[in-house]
Chains A and B, each alone.
Chain A
Amino acid sequence: MKIASAFVLGLGVLLYAGSPLRAEEVTIAAQYPLSGPMASYSGPFLREGTEIAIQRINESHMLGEGRTLKVIIEDNAGDRNQAISLMNRFATSDNALAVLGVYGSYLSLPTAPVANELKIPFLAIAASPAIVQAGPWSFILIEQPDSSMKILAQYAAEKLKVKTAAMVYDRANDASVRLKNSFAKFFKEHGGSVVSEDGISQQDTNFAPIATKIASEKIDVLYIESVPSVAGNFLVQVRQAGLDPSVKLIASGQVSSPVFRDIAGAAANGIQYPADYDADMPAAENKYFVDAYRKRNHKDPDQNAAWAYTGMVLLAHAIHDAGPGADRAKVRDALAKLHDVETPLGAGKFSYDKDRMPDFGLIMLQVVNGKQELVK
């Protein structure tokens, strides 16, 4: 009797060990500015993109057989201290295998060293190379400002044939300042000159003084670098101030957002910018993403949603490539080696180069009659 009981017990243990109940649970943590001043143009879209990615990962068993996905999404409120606290919690209490998000260089720069101290792979939705330089555990999702601004400056000089620029940028945002400086550098290399540079802040709403000043300047092109709601509002006011309609409008990819087009309205018509994402890109992964997003949210995804989706997919691929029982170091190594992963961004294939810099091919977009289109 005792032998029979032992046999049954042993059989039960073997069955349990091999059953789906013993599937490996993989935890990915994400933190976004779901509240606070950044939330209006980013947080909800980032979360929506993440939700579609979870659906995709589960449907396609992207993590590999025998693995289930657990995603923790938290709000950092656009606050650096909160972002750091969450990173600590994700790494120590939540035992996340990797972290996505934080969003933007402002939040990512102080968080990256913490991720490296805690030795947890951290994929920042940001572009600053300083995040990567913080250590081997931190990665960025967005192509370098220099890449996009080089394309934009060349486009402005050769296609738009403009020579004199006024620049308006977010003076409190490190990424914004970098983008502005980068554009100015490349624009001058192409024979252009910068007539004026004016810094604004995300808290500003009264742009009448700067708008009036710019409207009185002799310029061919106005470059705007700020978050979507502020850039849109500025455009409205500079048009109202009497900006010459023949002045071309260009911007960085930050304005690739329905928030920008909604706030700016007709004032945005004609603006052109390099971007990471457009819902009409033909890549297969983008088609899945857009269809699923539209079905769930009854609207088109924006760049932020695409970034969050891509980030989750990249982490899932890295976890898969790291193999069963992967630890954080293996995930980190697999992430650095990702090559030609199908994502919605850019031309459709995402890779990291040897310096862990992302490459996925930027596209030129424009706003025509309130809609975002590819520049032909």
Chain B
Amino acid sequence: MLAQQLLNGLVVGAVYALFSLGLTLVFGMHRILNLAHGAVFMWGAFIGYFAVTLGGLPLWAAFIIAVIGAGMVSVALDLFVFRPLRRHQGDEFGTIVASIGANLILMQLAQQATNAQTLRFPFGIFPVVFFNLPGMRISLQQIVILAAVAVIVLGLLFFLFRTSLGSEARAVAVNEQTAMLLGVNPGKVYFASFFIAGMLAGAAGVILGIAFNSVTYVMGEAVMLQAFVVIVLGGLGSVLGAVLAGIVIGMIQTLTTAYISTELSDAVVFGLLFIVLLIRPNGFFSGIHTEYRVA
């Protein structure tokens, strides 16, 4: 059973990592703690769900639409919530409060749209295939989830470190004013970072919605809680840190539930957070605003 539980932990940890990447990306670049990220994740799941059930689209097409849709929701958040605050020199606390308000609005909209029902992707949307290995069984779904997360993370790293827009994004993360002087358009960078963060959340939403057979307007809340732990442990703004911390948290949560008690899994995770913060207050990895030189 241990091998099976480790696999379970790896899969859920990978999804936590995917979700947390968006959160840490926006924080790392712009020092914005977007508490509406869970709502973006939830809306990504709903967009994917409606694309399949109402639009009749195959899963791969619904996934793409969900990812883009979630990206647009995230950009809209920046446009209507965070940008006005930036223009008026709003402080960090104001930004957090505004994101809480935006989160509530997005949740209320989803609640009204679905009549508070718990929905699920249609059975059979993903082939139910299992492979039996010694001591465990792995599903095709789990393999695809791990592969998809790996591809997305690699894509993000490629964007950040191999593209000009990625370089500009990292420049803005180090110092926005200096980047502007060097000819970087911060507006373009904000758009790109929020869009990518939304895409990551949307991807995580669809994956989780299918993997755990549940799409509901409150689904973002529990994941946000885990994501905080992930981004703090991994180091605020660190891509690598978010991935590793996500996987570690997923494993710890799973093993605690399986071998100790379900009631204690959150206590263990947050206890670990507390201990790590005592030793490494900035997490285990540095963020993108400190990691690399811009030029």
A residues neighboring B (CB under 8 Å) = 34-37, 39-41, 43-44, 171, 198-201, 203-210, 212-213, 216, 229, 233, 236-237, 240, 242, 259, 262-263, 265-266
On whether the beta carbons of B262 and A199 are closer than 8 Å, the reply is yes
On whether the beta carbons of A229 and B1 are closer than 8 Å, the reply is no
Q: How near does chain B come to A324, taking the closest CB pair, in angstroms?
A: 40
On whether the beta carbons of B118 and A236 are closer than 8 Å, the reply is no
B212 within 8 A of A: yes
On whether the beta carbons of B218 and A209 are closer than 8 Å, the reply is no
Residues in chain A near residue B254, CB distance under 8 A: 208-209
Tell me, in angstroms, the Cα distance from A199 to B260 when the chains sit together: 12
On whether the beta carbons of A212 and B118 are closer than 8 Å, the reply is no
Specify which of B253, B258, B261 is in contact with A212 (CB 8 Å cutoff): B258
On whether the beta carbons of B115 and A203 are closer than 8 Å, the reply is no
Chain B residue at minimal CB-CB distance from A216: B1
On whether the beta carbons of B115 and A233 are closer than 8 Å, the reply is no
Residues in chain A near residue B137, CB distance under 8 A: 242
Residues in chain A near residue B261, CB distance under 8 A: 199
Q: How near does chain A come to B88, taking the closest CB pair, in angstroms?
A: 33
On whether the beta carbons of B1 and A171 are closer than 8 Å, the reply is no
B residues neighboring A (CB under 8 Å) = 1, 4-5, 8-9, 11-12, 111, 115-118, 120, 123, 128, 130, 137, 139, 208, 211-214, 216, 218-219, 221-222, 253-255, 257-258, 261-263
Given contacts A198-B262, A262-B120, 19 further A-B contacts (CB under 8 A): A35-B116, A39-B111, A40-B116, A201-B262, A203-B222, A206-B12, A206-B212, A208-B8, A209-B258, A210-B258, A212-B1, A212-B4, A213-B1, A213-B5, A229-B216, A242-B130, A242-B137, A259-B117, A259-B118
Specify which of A208, A259, A266 is in contact with B123 (CB 8 Å cutoff): A266
Tell me, in angstroms, the Cα distance from A259 to B128 when the chains sit together: 22
Contacts A206-B12, A208-B8, A213-B1 given: A171-B116 contact, CB under 8 Å? no
Pairs A–B under 8 Å by Cβ, sample size 18: A35-B116, A40-B216, A43-B116, A201-B262, A205-B222, A208-B11, A208-B12, A209-B254, A209-B257, A209-B262, A210-B262, A212-B258, A213-B258, A229-B214, A233-B213, A240-B139, A259-B117, A263-B118
Contacts A203-B221, A206-B12, A209-B258 given: A44-B115 contact, CB under 8 Å? yes
Q: How near does chain A come to B74, taking the closest CB pair, in angstroms?
A: 22
Q: How near does chain A come to B216, taking the closest CB pair, in angstroms?
A: 7
Residues in chain A near residue B1, CB distance under 8 A: 212-213, 216
Contacts A43-B116, A171-B263, A236-B213 given: A209-B8 contact, CB under 8 Å? yes
On whether the beta carbons of A263 and B111 are closer than 8 Å, the reply is no
Specify which of B118, B120, B128, B222 is in contact with A41 (CB 8 Å cutoff): B118
Q: How near does chain B come to A128, taking the closest CB pair, in angstroms?
A: 22
Chain A residue at minimal CB-CB distance from B116: A39
A-B CB proximity, top 5 nearest = A39-B116, A229-B118, A205-B212, A209-B257, A209-B258
Tell me, in angstroms, the Cα distance from A213 to B123 when the chains sit together: 24
Residues in chain A near residue B117, CB distance under 8 A: 40, 259
Tell me, in angstroms, the Cα distance from A293 to B8 when the chains sit together: 44
Tell me, in angstroms, the Cα distance from A203 to B219 when the chains sit together: 8
Q: How near does chain B come to A2, taking the closest CB pair, in angstroms?
A: 63
Tell me, in angstroms, the Cα distance from A285 to B180 when the chains sit together: 75
Q: How near does chain A come to B30, taking the closest CB pair, in angstroms?
A: 30
Chain B residue at minimal CB-CB distance from A263: B120
On whether the beta carbons of A203 and B218 are closer than 8 Å, the reply is yes
Residues in chain B near residue A204, CB distance under 8 A: 222
Tell me, in angstroms, the Cα distance from A259 to B137 when the chains sit together: 29
Chain A residue at minimal CB-CB distance from B208: A205
On whether the beta carbons of B8 and A200 are closer than 8 Å, the reply is no
On whether the beta carbons of A237 and B213 are closer than 8 Å, the reply is yes
Residues in chain B near residue A209, CB distance under 8 A: 5, 8-9, 253-255, 257-258, 262
Tell me, in angstroms, the Cα distance from A11 to B195 when the chains sit together: 77
Contacts A36-B116, A208-B12, A212-B8 given: A233-B258 contact, CB under 8 Å? no
Residues in chain B near residue A266, CB distance under 8 A: 123
Residues in chain B near residue A233, CB distance under 8 A: 118, 120, 212-214
Q: How near does chain A come to B50, taking the closest CB pair, in angstroms?
A: 17
Specify which of B4, B214, B253, B255 is in contact with A205 (CB 8 Å cutoff): B214
Residues in chain B near residue A35, CB distance under 8 A: 111, 116
Q: How near does chain A come to B9, taking the closest CB pair, in angstroms?
A: 8
Tell me, in angstroms, the Cα distance from A216 to B137 when the chains sit together: 12
Tell me, in angstroms, the Cα distance from A77 to B261 when the chains sit together: 30
Q: How near does chain B come to A66, taking the closest CB pair, in angstroms?
A: 38
Q: How near does chain B come to A75, taking the closest CB pair, in angstroms?
A: 10
Residues in chain B near residue A208, CB distance under 8 A: 8, 11-12, 254
